[in-house]
Amino acid sequence: MKRTYIPYVADWPALACSESWELVSAEVENATKKFPKWPTDPLHALAILGEEFGELTKEVVQMIYEPNKTSTAKIREEAIQTAAMAIRFVMSLDSYCYLQAP
Ligand SMILES: [Mg+2]
């Protein structure tokens, strides 16, 4: 099936802000239960966030070029995980040790 690219900006998000926050908040809670520790080294913390962003990127690229191999549900899942890790990064801002490797 030939799909046509139609660039546009939605007038209003499909998901309400409060609903998005609830999904991300639940993911932060689940991730914190599963992995209670979070790095105090900001580069390691950023690597966790980057890993989730990479997974989100892969799903979006796949949706464009190999749509039979992913789904919008998977993209949603990865977007929520990425946002949750960004929140965990923010939650730890006062705990980071900005030290150079010896
Ligand atoms: Mg993920």
Å from CA of 74 to ligand 1 middle: 9
Neighbours of ion ligand 1 (CB under 5 A): 52, 55, 78, 81
Other residues' Cβ atoms within 10 Å of the Cβ of residue 56: 20
- pLDDT tens figures, 7-66: 777 666 778 889 999 999 999 999 999 999 999 999 999 999 999 999 999 999 999 999
The whole-number pLDDT of residue 14 equals: 77
- The two tokens of residue 93 are 């801002």
CA of 102 to the centre of ligand 1 (A): 32
Render 66-89 in DSSP notation, one character per residue: -GGG--HHHHHHHHHHHHHHHHHH
pLDDT at position 5 is 74
Q: How far is the CA of 44 from the centre of ligand 1 (A)?
A: 16
pLDDT tens track for 86-97? 999 999 999 999
How far does residue 98's CA lie from ligand 1's centre (Å)?
A: 26
Ligand 1 centre distance from Cα of residue 25 (Å) = 15
Residues in CB range of 85: below 8 A, 6 or more apart: 31, 48, 49, 52
- Domain limits, the chain: 40-102
Which pLDDT does position 1 carry in this prediction? 62
